[in-house]
Structure 1
Amino acid sequence: MPLIEAQGLSVRRGDNTILTGVNFTIAPGEIVTILGPNGSGKSTLIRALIGLERPSAGAVRHRAGLRIGYVPQRLHLDAALPMTVRRFLSLPHRVSDAAAAAVLARTGVADLGGRQVVALSGGQLQRVLLARALLAEPQVLILDEPTQGLDQPGEAAFYQLLEEVRAETGTAVIMVSHDLHVVMRASDRVVCLNGHVCCEGTPEIVSEAPEYRALFGLGTGGTLALYRHTHGPDHVHDGCAHDHDHAHAHAHGPEAADA
């Protein structure tokens, strides 16, 4: 069976429907990106897959004994509270110095153990959060907008690191994003979400196409995405264009918040 499987998953909050009829699976060693505009329910889906959000309909199943590593979108720490990276790695359960050193080295921040967490840059913090998630030797890594706030070189380096971790450990990876720039190069499959799964398949970034280069000029700030969905003959479209191997262009405002 898949590591995680959701069938007919719906989530409501009061009178507001966040997700409707979502089917989702992830297999061992697979990297899947959940993509969608701000407010499309991506973070809600992640919380439901982890078990932090109770479905109003449908079900989520985990493989027996599944180990999950989670990298949140944001980490809120009191700036007045002193906490080194080494101490942070031992919350809530203490880990050995050897284990802490190993995961920090694996994520490329071996020299940060004595640094204060609140003093880290965005890229450093994401690598520390990833290191903490790896301590559990997860079978699935779940990352919610892991490169939010990073520049494009930082994004590329982080996704390259994820590919290396997957190759070395065999862990599956679920990533959440609203931007296909760079991230899709590290994905085996993309699920396009907008309150429901509108389409999914193996993505292809049209990196050499003039249209792609026009969208990803230096002035775009990475807020536009041109990509392709390739669907099998049995794929059911629901909310996306109906031609096969078709290109979509999305523009997302940076100020909106995801559900």
Structure 2
Amino acid sequence: MSLIDIKNLTFSYETSFENIFEDVSFQIDTDWKLGFIGRNGRGKTTLLNLLLGKYDYRGKISASVTFDYFPFEVEDKSHTTIDIIDSINNSYEVWELNRELSLLDVDQDVLYRPFETLSNGEQTKVLLAALFLKEQNFLLLDEPTNHLDEEGKETIAEYLKKKKGFILVSHDRDFLDKIIDHVLSVNKTNIDIIRGNFSDWNQKKEREDNFETAENEKLKKDINRLKQAAKRTSSWSEKTEESKFGTKGVDRGFLGHKSAKMMKKSKSIEARQNKAIEEKSGLLKNIETAENLKLHPMVYPKGSLVDVSDLSIFYGDKILFEGVDFSVRNGDRAVIKGKNGSGKSSLIKLLAGEEIPHMGFIKTGSGLTISYVPQDASFLSGTLNSFAEDRGINETLFKSILRKLDFDRGQFDKRIDEYSEGQKKKVLLAGSLCESAHLYIWDEPLNFIDVISRIQIEELILNYNPTLIYVEHDSAFNRKIATKIINL
């Protein structure tokens, strides 16, 4: 057991006017399974990069371990998998590697195939095995389950439960609860560490927020009282000063001395009152605002919105799936499920109107209006203004939704390609929420999106009941939202 000690850490990007971290101090035990949570744009990936030594900073980071980052970047994926493992770690025993692959449910024959031929899930598992075999390292796992199906996530969850010595960035509540024993949270004004899993942290956070909300009501009354007192004090000193003028038969020198003395006293009282107001106003520092989102879905006048029968989709010479039948009617919330590579995204794209090789029958209702959120947000560039203009949505409404999703106004002036992955996905979601549609088609809408925003989106869907076809691997979200399952 050893400690990672962070003292007085202060950091900001050269292009930023504000510090991402300011005088932050905390300690991490290298035996912990540490979940790292916080809203998008709060600096989670930045902190990981600081631990990796990628940026200059003020303060001190000391550790007796070596930090390794996942996802590990493989430069040439045409090499065999075993060669790539050796390039990451060449100090393992063969039996150790076989044990790790067995725990991850990976066949050993992948070792002698080109890495690029492995599925996303297989690549993730192989890289995790290689990194965990390294000695004296501490892993920084940055959303390792993105794009993995539920079966793959379950396998990795069971694997990580048997490990220790890592920081796990994830927004999947069920996944975190299965694995972690401590939580590191980046709050609005500080960084906090507690013992327990995500549910423990969430319960503690709710208690703290409820307490601060109750205190807020008391503070509002105190602040109003202090402001009224400050106003009376200011008026009192002004009247005393005015009494020096226009009064006959009085000693103006005496009044001037009295006025100055009272003015000084009143200014001192007023300063104390203003300081008290400022202190009380600053007490509410960590409440996470999660305002209700709104949606204006349209009801399709009659019949099914989508009818599919005997559908097969192809990728090159490969059949991704065949013989699929389903229909979607008003109010259905249909989740598409299947293993990685089974054709979920291809089906989503086909339903959204893209040209995808297929056979079978697919019919969408006449005059159907669709709002589509793709899986990949990397194509986004330019400004929020240009995004709203290109999409034909109301810019004011669009930015109002982003504000509710925890966008600071200062971020509105940045280019979208400078945003974090979670912020980019929020841009796509906010664009969709601005659109009135009969059918919303979302491909992995929660990728990189923070937990609080996920809960906001859950509540939005349950409140407004849009007709929805989507792909998502967050099991907690699916339990609450899905009314129909399309199995591939």
Is the pair's TM-score, using the shorter chain for normalization, greater than 0.5?
yes
Mapped partners of 1:124, 1:183: distance in 2: 21
Change (3 A) 1:89 1:40: same
Match of 2:117? 119
Q: Cα deviations across residues 181-207 of structure 1 (Å, max 9, x unaligned)? A: 322331111111157535432345559
Cα shift at 1:124? 1.4
Residues 14 and 30 of structure 1: CA distance in aligned 2, closer, same or farther (over 3 Å): same
- Please tell me whether residue 60 in structure 1 is matched to residue 66 in structure 2: no
- Give, in whole Å, the separation in 2 of the partners of 1:94 and 1:139: 14
3-state secondary structure, aligned to 1:181: helix
Over 3 Å counting, the alpha-carbon distance change for 1:195 and 1:45 in structure 2 is farther
**In the TM superposition, what whole-angstrom CA distance separates every residue of 1:99-158 from its partner, at most 9, and x where no partner exists?**
544443344324221122122222211111111112312452221111122234432321
- Which of 80, 87, 97 is the aligned partner of 2:83? 87
- Aligned residues of 1:89 and 1:100 also touching (Cα < 8 A): no
Identify which of structures 1 and 2 has the higher relative contact order when contacts are C-alpha pairs closer than 8 Å and 6+ apart. Answer: 1
Q: Which runs of 5 or more structure 1 residues have no equivalent in the other structure?
A: 208-225, 243-248
- Shift of the 74–139 alpha-carbon distance from structure 1 to 2, 3 Å rule, reads closer
* Larger strand fraction of residues: 1
1:37 to 33, 36, 39: 39
Structure 1 185/30 Cα, relative in aligned 2: closer, same or farther at 3 Å? same
The answer on 1:50 being equivalent to 2:48 is no
Superposed displacement of residue 54, structure 1: 2.3
The question of 1:229 aligning with 2:229 is answered no
Determine the structure 1 residue equivalent to 2:181.
188
SS of residue in 2 equivalent to 1:227: helix
Alpha-carbon distance between aligned partners in 2 of 1:117 and 1:196, rounded to the nearest angstrom? 43
Identical pairs, percent? 23
The 1:28/1:253 distance shift into structure 2, 3 A limit, reads: closer
Which consecutive residues of structure 2, in runs of 5 or more, have no partner in the other structure?
209-282, 293-403, 406-421, 427-447, 450-488
Change (3 A) 1:9 1:152: farther
Of the candidates 237, 240, 250, which is equivalent to residue 286 of structure 2?
240
- Residues 179, 15 of structure 1: CA spacing in aligned structure 2 closer, same or farther, 3 A cutoff? same
Q: Distance in 2 between matches of 1:99 and 1:205?
A: 31
- The answer as to 2:253 corresponding to 1:255 is no
Q: Which residue is 1:211 aligned to?
A: none
State the match for 2:169 in structure 1: 176
Letter in 2 for 1:3: L
Q: Distance in 2 between matches of 1:119 and 1:239?
A: 49
Q: Secondary structure at the match of 1:91?
A: helix
Structure 1 residue 76, shift from structure 2 partner: 5.1
Q: Do the aligned partners of 1:34 and 1:42 also contact (CA within 8 Å) in 2?
A: yes
CA offsets 1:2-34 (integer angstroms, 9 cap, x no match): 431112212211141333333332214211111
CA shift in 2, pair 1:163/1:93, >3 Å: closer
Question: Structure 1 residues 126 and 238, CA, compared in 2 at 3 Å: closer, same or farther?
Answer: farther
Q: TM-score, normalised by structure 2?
A: 0.39
TM (norm. structure 1) is 0.69
> Contact conserved, 2:189 with 2:286, CA < 8 A, in 1?
no
Report if the CA contact (8 A) 1:106-1:131 is conserved: no
Which aligned pairs between 1:13-162 and structure 2 lie closer than 5 A?
Answer: 13-16=13-16, 17-55=19-57, 57-63=58-64, 66-68=65-67, 70-73=68-71, 75=73, 77-78=75-76, 82-91=78-87, 94-95=90-91, 97-98=94-95, 100-111=97-108, 112-162=110-160
8 Å contact 1:192–1:199 — kept in the other structure?
yes
Deviation at 1:254, TM superposition (A): 7.0
Cα distance between partner residues in 2 of 1:24 and 1:124:
35
- Alpha-carbon distance in 1 for matches of 2:21, 2:189: 6
Larger radius of gyration: 2
Structure 2 counterpart of 1:51, one-letter code: G
Alpha-carbon distance between aligned partners in 1 of 2:114 and 2:86, rounded to the nearest angstrom: 14
Which moved further from structure 2: 33-42 or 191-200?
191-200
- Cα distance in structure 1, aligned partners of 2:61 and 2:140: 15
**Which whole-Å CA distance do the structure 2 matches of 1:31 and 1:59 have between them?**
23
Question: In the comparison of the two structures, how many residue pairs are matched?
Answer: 222
